[in-house]
Amino acid sequence: MMELLASQIAAAVNMRTLYPPNHPQCVRSVEDMVAGIRRELQRTNMDAVTYVLIGDDLVADDDLIRKRSLSVREFAQILKRRGVERLTFASGIDSEEADRFVNALAGGTAPQASPHIVVGRAQLLMEDESKEKAEKRDFSKQIEIVPEAWARFRVERELPVAHLGELVWTFIASLGRTTRAMLPLAKLKEYDEYTFVHSVNVSLLVLAQARGFGISGVLLHAFGMAALLHDIGKLTIPLTVLNKPGKLEHEEWELMKSHTQQGAWSLAAIDGITPLSIVVAYEHHLRYDQQPNYPRLHASRMPSLASRMTAIADTYDAMSTSRPYQEALGRAAALVMLKNRSGTFYDPNLVPRFIQLINESTPN
C-alpha cells in the first residue's frame, strides 16, 4: 500500500535526522523503504510509482490517500517543506540511491533527480498571477495560524507545534529565495496583533542571522522555532499589564519580567517542543556581559547563540514597531541602540552583522 510506503519514507528521514548515515537504524530504515518501493512496483505491476502533492492532499498513482495517519501527514509535510510536488520512484532503485535521497530530505535541501528518482513540480501558476504574488499570498495565509495558536495558548496552555513548525519551514524557504522580500517585516493592522506579529518578525530576523553564519537544515529550523516562541510567556501576563500605557508600577514590572520563566515552564510542559525553544524563552533577556538582568540567576552564564541572536532581533523589532504603550522609534534609532549596547547587553560579534543585514535588506 502506498500509505505504508509513505510512512516508511518518513521514518527513514526521521532516522537520518537523529543518527549518522551509517547508523544501523538509518541503514535499516532505508532498506525498508527500498523494499517497500519494490513491493509496490510488484503489486501494481508497474515500472514506477508516483506521489503528487496538491496543497495538503497527497495523491498516489492518481488516487487520493484518504487514510491520513500521522506518518502519512508527516511525509506530505516533508515534501511540502522541500518544494517537492511530484515524486516518482522507478524500477531499479537501490539502497545507495535511496540513501542519497533521504539524506537530502533530512538535511533540509531539495533532493536532486537521479536515475530512478524523479522530483519536480506538479502544477504551474495561472498566467495572470506572478510567482512573487503567489508566494506573498501563501505566506500571509500561513501566518494566520499564529494568532489562532496564541489565543489557544492563552486559554488552554497548548500549542499546535506541528503547524508552527511547518510555518517556520515556510519562513526558511521564503528567506532562501530572497531576503528582501521578507524584510521589512509584517505590518501591524491593530495593536492587539503586536504579540504575534512581533514573534513572526523576530523569528524571521533570527533565521536571517543564522543563515548568514552558515546554519542550515534542522538546526536552522530549531533557531527559527525558538525565536517564534521566545515571548510565549507574555501570553500568561494579564492584558491590563501587557498593554498598559505608560510606566509599569513595581509589582507590574516584576510580573512582566516573569514572562521569561513562565514561558520556559509552559514550553517544557508541551510535547514536541525542542529544548532550544525552552532555553531561548528563558534566556533572551540575559546580558552578553553576564551582568544581572532578568531572570535573576544564582550564577552568571553566557546565553546560548540562539538566545543572543534573539535578543538582538527582539530589541530591534520592539523599537521599530508601534506598540499599545509606545510609538515606534524607528529603524535608525534601533540600530543606534544596538551599537551603544554592543558588548554589554548584546554580542559584539553579532551586532555588526545584524546591522549589515538590516541595511542590505531594507529599502531606504
pLDDT tens per residue, range 78-134 = 888 888 888 888 888 999 999 999 998 888 777 877 878 888 764 433 334 455 555
Q: Is 332 exposed, middle or buried (0-12, 13-18, 19+ CB in 10 A)?
A: exposed
Question: What is the CATH number assigned to the segment(s) 131-361?
Answer: 1.10.3210.10
Question: Does the pLDDT of residue 210 top 60, yes or no?
Answer: yes
CB distance 112 to 47 below 8 Å:
no
- Paired with 60 in beta bridges are 51, 63
CB distance 51 to 86 below 8 Å:
yes
CA-to-CA separations, 213 to 113, 161, 221, 258, in angstroms, rounded:
28, 26, 14, 31
Pairing of strands 48-54, 57-60: antiparallel
Q: Which of 80-84, 180-184, 229-233, 269-273 has the lowest mean pLDDT?
A: 180-184
| Residues of each domain in the chain carrying CATH 1.10.3210.10 | 131-361
C-alpha cell at 209: 542571522
Higher pLDDT, 58 or 155: 155
C-alpha cell at 293: 538582568
Q: Which of 69-78, 187-196, 295-304 has the lowest mean pLDDT?
A: 187-196
CB distance 188 to 307 below 8 Å:
no
Question: Does the pLDDT of residue 282 top 90, yes or no?
Answer: yes
Q: How much of the chain, in percent, has pLDDT values that exceed 70?
A: 83
CA distance 198 to 220: 19
Q: Which residues 6+ apart lie within 8 Å of 24 measured at CB?
A: none
Higher pLDDT, 76 or 273: 273
pLDDT band at 136 (very low <50, low <70, confident <90, very high): low
